[in-house]
Amino acid sequence: MEIKGKATEKESQSPKFTLPVDSEHKATEFRLLSVAAPHMRAFHLSWVSFFACFVSTFAAPPLLPIIRDNLNLTATDIGNAGIASVSGAAFARIALGTACDLFGPRLASASLILLTAPAVYFTSIASSPTSFLLVRFFTGFSLATFVSTQFWMSSMFSARVVGTANGAAAGWGNLGGGATQLIMPLVFGLIRDIGALKFTAWRIAFFIPALFQTLSAFAVLIFGKDLPDGNFRPLQKAGAKPKDKLSNVFYHGITNYRGWILALTYGYCFGVELTVDNIIAEYFYDRFDLKLHTAGIIAASFGLANIVSRPAGGLISDAVAKRFGMRGRLWALWIVQTLGGVFCIILGRVESLGASILVMIVFSFFCQAACGLTFGVVPFVSRRSLGLISGMTGGGGNLGAVLTQLIFFKGSKYSKERGITLMGVMIICCTFPICFVYFPQWGGMFCGPSSKTVATEEEYYLSEWNTEEKEKGLHQGSLKFADNSRSERGGRADSETRPADETPSAYV
Partner 1 sequence: MAARALLLASLVLSCFLLPACYGTVLFSSLQRTLEVTASPTSGQVLKGGVDKITVTWGLNQTVAAGTDSTYKTIKVKLCYAPISQVDRGWRKTVDNLKKDRTCQHKIVARPYNPANSTAQSHEWTVERDVPTATYFVRAYAYDADEKEVAYGQTTDAHKTTNLFQVQAISGRHVTMDTCSICFSVFSVVSLFGFFYNEKRRAKRPQ
**Binding residues vs partner 1 (CB under 8 A):** 65, 68-70, 72, 74-76, 107, 110-111, 114-115, 117-118, 121-122, 124-125, 127, 197-200, 202-204, 207, 210-211, 214, 217-218, 221, 233-234, 237, 286, 289, 411-412
At its nearest, how many Å lie between partner 1 and the CB of residue 39? 22
User: 116 or 265, CB closer to partner 1?
Assistant: 116
By beta-carbon proximity to partner 1, the closer residue of 8 and 463 is 8
286 DSSP β-pair partners: none
157, 30 contact by CB (below 8 A): yes
CA proximity to 480, closest of 459, 495, 465, 458:
458
In angstroms, what is the minimal distance from the CB of 385 to partner 1? Answer: 25
Ramachandran region, residue 411 (left: φ > 0; alpha: ψ -120 to 50; beta: rest): left
Looking at the Cβ atoms of 110 and 482, the one nearer to partner 1 is 110
Provide the sign of the torsion angle of the four alpha carbons 61, 364, 257, 488, taken in this order. Answer: positive
Least Å from the CB of residue 371 to partner 1: 29
> Cis omega before residue 38 (within 30°)?
yes
| Residue closer to partner 1 (CB basis): 34 or 214 | 214
The conformational region for residue 199 under phi > 0 = left, psi -120 to 50 = alpha, else beta, is alpha
Separation between Cα atoms, residue 145 and residue 110, nearest integer Å: 9
Q: Which is nearer to partner 1, 204 or 425 (CB)?
A: 204
Least distance between partner 1 and beta carbon 115 (Å) = 7
> Minimum CB separation from partner 1 for residue 61, in Å?
14
Alpha carbons 330 and 317: distance in angstroms, whole number: 8
CB-nearer residue toward partner 1: 287 or 349:
287
* Burial (Cβ within 10 Å: 0-12, 13-18, ≥19) of residue 357: middle
CA-based nearest residue to 118, from 200, 211, 216, 205: 211
Instruction: Report in angstroms how near the CB of residue 221 gets to partner 1 at its nearest.
Output: 5
Residue whose CB is less far from partner 1, 65 or 348: 65
Please say whether the beta carbons of 238 and 368 come within 8 A: no
Pick the closest to residue 184 from 93, 62, 91, 65 (CA basis): 62
CB of 13 to partner 1, least distance (A): 13
